[in-house]
Amino acid sequence: MSGLTSHRRAFALSMPALLGLLALLVTLFRAPSGVPPQMHPAAAATMTVAQAISTQSGTGTVAGYIVGEPTATNTVRFSGFTGDTALAIADSSSETDTADMLYVQITSAYRASFGLLSNPGLIGDALTVTGTLTAYFTHAGLKSPSAMTLGGSTPTPTPTGTSTPTPTPTGSTSAYYAAAAGKSGESLKSALHGIISSGVTTLSYDAVWNALKATDQDPSNSANVILLYSGTSRSKTLNGGDVGDWNREHVWAKSHGDFGTSAGPGTDLHHLRPEDVQVNSERGNKDFDNGGTAVSDAPGNRTDADSWEPRVAVRGDVARMIFYMAVRYEGGDAYPDLEVDDVTGSGTAPRLGRLSALRQWNLQDPPDAFEQRRNELIYSGYQHNRNPFVDHPEWVTSIFG
């Protein structure tokens, strides 16, 4: 009898605790304050590390590179790791200034997979993490992660089993594209031109070098960039004009409109990519089209007298870069009106082809994590405009048929 009484007492005592837990769960799902309950916090835009450092409130999803293990406010270990409980992430995988890092708490569920003592090879890898943006080690931080993913694109289940989808670029950029909502065809093109031409920062041609070292960094080797056509991973320090160097490939060949390399279309990162000096020269100012013979030093690419066919993995990237240029440059701002045509060999006219091949390639090679990260970085760190076709590849069909 006394056993039953104590059992009842224990049950009675547990009820307020249970209600408290329920209240806490409700609070958690409403966080951050000011966000309506139906809008899950994880639906917010993915932030850069710089944005997360300047925000430091509410819940956020941040994409960056793992650069070290924070051990004190201004101390980050870059090797010889001592634990699995904290990461420092940055927008550049070569960052050494702790002021440009976000300190990420690794709770127990994630330590085996993300701790640097157990996984020192994670240095330089891309990480996407969702959690509370708040101080950690008395430094800009992210605590209590609800999702952590390497590579920046694949959603993982949360430890609690609740649904926390990783936001897609399409979902996270709806505010940016608000003026294009519901539009199609020419009116969509016109709206997008206005959006991607507003508040743009243009770079000098010299500044393009360092930008490309960030935007085109090899995801598996932060000391290297990936060359567009050849697919080669090459040291960032080999930028230049000699054999064996990489240089700045204008995917929209600059002679098509003759816009040169002064600040503007000739320095627009959305169509500039690192490429081997000799392969760049072989592509020259050819239009893009299917066909030709194999390019020996750029496997998977083909070329003939007047056209270039990129390897399958980047031909969608090429198409979306060309479509971006056609929408970004409409002739109203001292730059030529660039347009896509369906021919090859159009000389120095501000035209590039071939439309039918580019449309096909956009469908054949949809945007991947590398291309999306690049777009995000150009937006957040350099030009402050986006390539709409990386966010919405379906808009190619709406505008260009």
Interaction site with Ca ion (CB under 5 A): 316-317, 326, 330, 337-339, 365
- Minimum distance of Ca ion from residue 326's CB (angstroms): 5
- Minimum distance of Ca ion from residue 193's CB (angstroms): 8
- Minimum distance of Ca ion from residue 316's CB (angstroms): 5
The backbone torsions φ and ψ at residue 366, rounded to the nearest 5 degrees and listed phi first, read: -70, 165
- Minimum distance of Ca ion from residue 259's CB (angstroms): 12
Q: Which is nearer to Ca ion, 139 or 359 (CB)?
A: 359
Reported as half-sphere exposure (CB side, CA atoms, 13 A), residue 141 has a value of 21
Cβ atoms of 61 and 47 within 8 Å: the answer is yes
Q: How far is CA 218 from CA 13, 135, 209, 247, 262, in A?
A: 57, 30, 15, 16, 28
Q: Which is nearer to Ca ion, 213 or 351 (CB)?
A: 351
Q: Which is nearer to Ca ion, 43 or 349 (CB)?
A: 349
Q: Which is nearer to Ca ion, 81 or 329 (CB)?
A: 329
Q: Which is nearer to Ca ion, 89 or 340 (CB)?
A: 340
* Residue 61, beta-bridge partner list: 46, 130
* Residue 101, beta-bridge partner list: 90
What are 305-310's contacts with CB under 8 Å, separation 24+?
306/344, 306/345, 307/344, 307/354, 308/229, 308/283, 309/357, 310/228, 310/229, 310/361
Q: Which two tokens stand for residue 401?
A: 């048929």
Q: Which is nearer to Ca ion, 251 or 338 (CB)?
A: 338
Cα–Cα distance for residue pair 250/215, rounded to 1 Å: 15
- Minimum distance of Ca ion from residue 217's CB (angstroms): 16
Q: Which is nearer to Ca ion, 104 or 321 (CB)?
A: 321
Q: How far is CA 101 from CA 36, 51, 53, 84, 125, in A?
A: 30, 11, 8, 18, 14
Amino acid at 196: I
- Minimum distance of Ca ion from residue 254's CB (angstroms): 15
Q: Which two tokens stand for residue 124?
A: 């330089």
Task: Please give the DSSP secondary-structure letter assigned to residue 96.
Answer: -
- Minimum distance of Ca ion from residue 363's CB (angstroms): 12
Cβ atoms of 229 and 298 within 8 Å: the answer is yes
- Cβ of 279: how many Cβ atoms within 10 Å? 22
Q: Which is nearer to Ca ion, 365 or 391 (CB)?
A: 365
Cβ atoms of 130 and 139 within 8 Å: the answer is no
3-state secondary structure of 87: strand
- Minimum distance of Ca ion from residue 312's CB (angstroms): 8
- Minimum distance of Ca ion from residue 321's CB (angstroms): 11
Mention every residue, 6+ apart, whose C-beta is less than 8 A from residue 199. 384, 385
Q: Which is nearer to Ca ion, 279 or 326 (CB)?
A: 326
